[in-house]
Structure 1
Amino acid sequence: MILAATNRPEVLDKALLRPGRFDRRIIVDKPDLKGRLETLKVHSKDVLMADDVDLDALALASAGLVGSDLANMINEAAINAVKKGRKFVTQADLFEAFEIVAVGGKEKKDRAMSDKEKKIVSYHEVGHAMVTALQKNTEPVQKITIVPRTMGALGYTLQTPEEEKFLQTKEELEAKIVTYMAGRAAEEIVFHSVTSGAANDIEQATKIARAMITQFGMSEKFGMMSLASVENQYLDGRAALNCGEQTASQIDQEVLQMINHSYEEAKRLLNENREVLDKIAEYLYEHETITGKEFMKIFRELKGIPEPGQETEAAVSDDMFVDDEV
């Protein structure tokens, strides 16, 4: 039996793939939710876990990671526990390890930002979180921090899905672009200037907008026309345009229009909630890191929105009152 492996099956000589040769393909994709959970169980079986550990939540948050990433997460969590003088791993250790592996290295608390930079980063990250909370079709905020990381990030807003998803609607993609643009929008609103901190946000927003237009048939101008093909599917998944220079120029114009529209929408949402933005940014500046639950609690209090449980109780009371009237 002869086995061969490649990350670029599309460039293989067709003669190799004829019947009787390498005619059976086994595709090894990134693990799905169930696969990630089982992988985490395998790597954590010899690690003492606290009662609060929920591997299901970690598997859900780690979409897109591969087996080696998940193994590294368990190892990092165990190292965190030992450093803190514990013989067991907690849920906090696991999510801290997740951030190290998936987000961008360890916290670098000795990297001192100036007060002005710290304030800018606070508004930038709260801008992301605020626009997430103000829109529909978004994933909930898990954590907001302005503690720099070893991989260069000065802060980040972490969002985790509530369920495993394989498809994204047009509305969800549009909401993502608006969320990506919200950090820079907050900078412009508050400081009347912008910084280089939004570089990755702009890159991700552009990538989504271009895919919507060229691959997903979500273009206002071109409609359901395929304008790009994915190359190197098992490597970087780069898309190559299938059109001429004039059409490519029109695509660029529509991408720019979509991003500009999203940027204006982000500014509108933040301007309409400027007082809330200021207060949460001030809170983050003082505390440096807040959880998603803390953020939503403060957000609801400032907006006068009842907590989900209280809202349900009120609805039940209203129903009972109506029934009594009937």
Structure 2
Amino acid sequence: MNRSKAKFQMEPNTGVTFDDVAGVDEAKQDFQEIVEFLKSPEKFTAIGARIPKGVLLVGPPGTGKTLLAKAIAGEAGVPFFSLSGSEFIEIFVGVGASRVRDLFNKAKQNSPCLVFIDEIDAVGRQRGTGIGGGNDEREQTLNQLLTEMDGFSGDSGVIVIAATNRPEILDSALLRPGRFDRQVSVGLPDVRGREEILKVHSSNKKLDKNVSLSVIAMRTPGFSGADLANLMNEAAILAGRRGKQKITLKEIDDSIDRIVAGLEGTKMTDGKNKILVAYHEIGHAICATLTAGHDPVQKVTLIPQGQARGLTWFLPGDDATLVSKQQIFARIVGGLGGRAAEEVIFGESEVTTGAAGDLQQITQIAKQMVTTFGMSEIGPWALMDPAVQSGDVVLRMMARNSMSEKLAEDIDKSIKAIVDKAYEIAKMHIRNNREAIDKLIDLLLEKETLSGDEFRAILSQFTDIPEAKQKTKLTLPELVAA
């Protein structure tokens, strides 16, 4: 029971090398340096460099942290121990600390070697957050891990690689130099990284000659490596189901729809509901297109997917690492377009529950504008405690609410002012374009799906469209706002 449950490979054969890891070039470079250190340490020790004790991989789920660990095991050619943080945890007192000692004893006997601990937050959580005191078995396990990594025994030739997607809850003693000397961020890939990842995951698939991986990469911002692998697999399954010999753009298009919005539902036959949904979706598309700063419309459809009865798809431009106030406000206007269309066209008493998801989304965006981004009349303040914003329940419970009642009231007023202003603009767009809306509704009810180019061609007959959106001719859908 006290023995470590780590899986040990004297000559690791994970089947993964650095060639199989794409889209995280900076992280890969750090690891290549460690592999070189393990293969020829004298090159570094001759000038006084010491071998790093630990490397912490930090990043969202699905970005390739465990894959990187497999690659370094395959490349380094040294003994490799792999386990999960939860494998230290046991109901019996002292077992976790004993397993840590056993693991490092085995590792020292085989040094130089690598130890990989996946999901280290299971055992490395901040100490002292337990309520009521007493002996905390997890804390004793962490204390033993801290001692083994940089205690009194000195250098041991053991490199610890750990992975987590929750670095904010890790104990500060674990993150100091001498324990985890390096924190390597493995983030979501950029457009070039996504193309490299798609090349890796499509190497064993038969693609039609018209499928461009660079186009798919441009149309999938926010997708992680795992998302892209799933996308190509879903496309291959669809092609097989449809009896095709190769994966075409149609399968990839449908796969993105399925991943983002859910499975396609049964087409609507009810005349009244279908008309209501049509006006709602055209309202989104009109308000988004006529508001400066919004992403262009990719398509409008009345075919249900997931929980949505209809969808309006938008095409994000560049990877949105920095978003302006104008762009955020435009998203609020576009999000309110559906409700605005219902109210202007059918009357206030006939508005439906279809806008519930939109209202939640735009309220959250407006709240972030005020409390996080400092984009309101209150001024450039960060008005929310980071602990309150974090996903950790314990930190939220312990966070002290230092906000005055007056400030809380001002925040509510600012949020309401932003949403009210956006709603008035959305209703104005609907009132000013009734003729165009009626023409678009007739075509949408007939075809059930309108492409962005078809939508803009009809709308441009009645009103001027911002120049940037007129030139958009893209083929694949992306992030959805319904």
Normalised by the size of structure 1, how large is the TM-score?
Answer: 0.85
- Seen in structure 2, the aligned counterparts of structure 1 residues 152 and 38 have a Cα distance that, compared at 3 Å, is same
Show the counterpart of 1:127: 283
Secondary structure of 1:26's counterpart equals strand
* In the alignment, structure 1 residue 60 sits paired with structure 2 residue 218: yes
Secondary structure of 1:49's counterpart equals coil
Q: Is the 8 A contact 1:227 1:242 kept in 2?
A: no
- Seen in structure 2, the aligned counterparts of structure 1 residues 274 and 12 have a Cα distance that, compared at 3 Å, is same
Separation of aligned partners in 2, 1:105 and 1:200: 15
- Residue of structure 1 aligned with 2:195, choices 15, 34, 37: 37
Q: Structure 1 or 2: larger helix share?
A: 1
Show the counterpart of 2:443: 283
Show the counterpart of 2:109: none
1:3-82 alignment, distance < 5 Å: 3-82=161-240
What amino acid is aligned across from residue 301 of structure 1 in structure 2? Q
| 1:205-228 residue CA offsets vs partner (Å, 9 max, x unmatched) | 1121111111112111x2111112
What's the RMSD between the two structures over aligned residues? 2.7
- Seen in structure 2, the aligned counterparts of structure 1 residues 242 and 101 have a Cα distance that, compared at 3 Å, is farther
List gaps (5 residues or longer) in structure 1: 312-326
What's the CA shift for 1:32? 1.6
- Seen in structure 2, the aligned counterparts of structure 1 residues 58 and 232 have a Cα distance that, compared at 3 Å, is farther
What amino acid is aligned across from residue 167 of structure 1 in structure 2? L
What's the CA shift for 1:107? 1.1
Bigger Cα Rg:
2
Separation of aligned partners in 1, 2:213 and 2:404: 49
Count residues in correspondence.
305
* In the alignment, structure 1 residue 247 sits paired with structure 2 residue 407: yes
Q: Is the 8 A contact 2:289 2:465 kept in 1?
A: no
What's the CA shift for 1:176? 0.9
| 1:122-178 residue CA offsets vs partner (Å, 9 max, x unmatched) | 0111111111221221111111111111x2111111101233332111111111110
**Bigger shift: residues 206-215 or 53-62:** 53-62
Q: Is the 8 A contact 1:8 1:233 kept in 2?
A: no
What amino acid is aligned across from residue 457 of structure 2 in structure 1? K
- Seen in structure 2, the aligned counterparts of structure 1 residues 306 and 72 have a Cα distance that, compared at 3 Å, is closer
Normalised by the size of structure 2, how large is the TM-score?
Answer: 0.59
* In the alignment, structure 1 residue 205 sits paired with structure 2 residue 362: yes
What's the CA shift for 1:234? 9.2
Secondary structure of 2:450's counterpart equals strand
- Residue of structure 2 aligned with 1:142, choices 275, 298, 303: 298
Show the counterpart of 1:165: 320
Q: Is the 8 A contact 2:280 2:342 kept in 1?
A: yes
Secondary structure of 2:162's counterpart equals coil
Identity, % of aligned pairs? 42
What's the CA shift for 1:51? 2.4
- Residue of structure 2 aligned with 1:216, choices 373, 379, 395: 373
Separation of aligned partners in 2, 1:14 and 1:304: 57
Separation of aligned partners in 2, 1:93 and 1:302: 35
Q: Is the 8 A contact 1:124 1:187 kept in 2?
A: yes
What's the CA shift for 1:11? 2.1
- Seen in structure 2, the aligned counterparts of structure 1 residues 226 and 86 have a Cα distance that, compared at 3 Å, is same
What amino acid is aligned across from residue 358 of structure 2 in structure 1? D
What's the CA shift for 1:115? 1.3
- Seen in structure 2, the aligned counterparts of structure 1 residues 62 and 231 have a Cα distance that, compared at 3 Å, is farther
| 1:2-31 residue CA offsets vs partner (Å, 9 max, x unmatched) | 233333222222222222123421222112
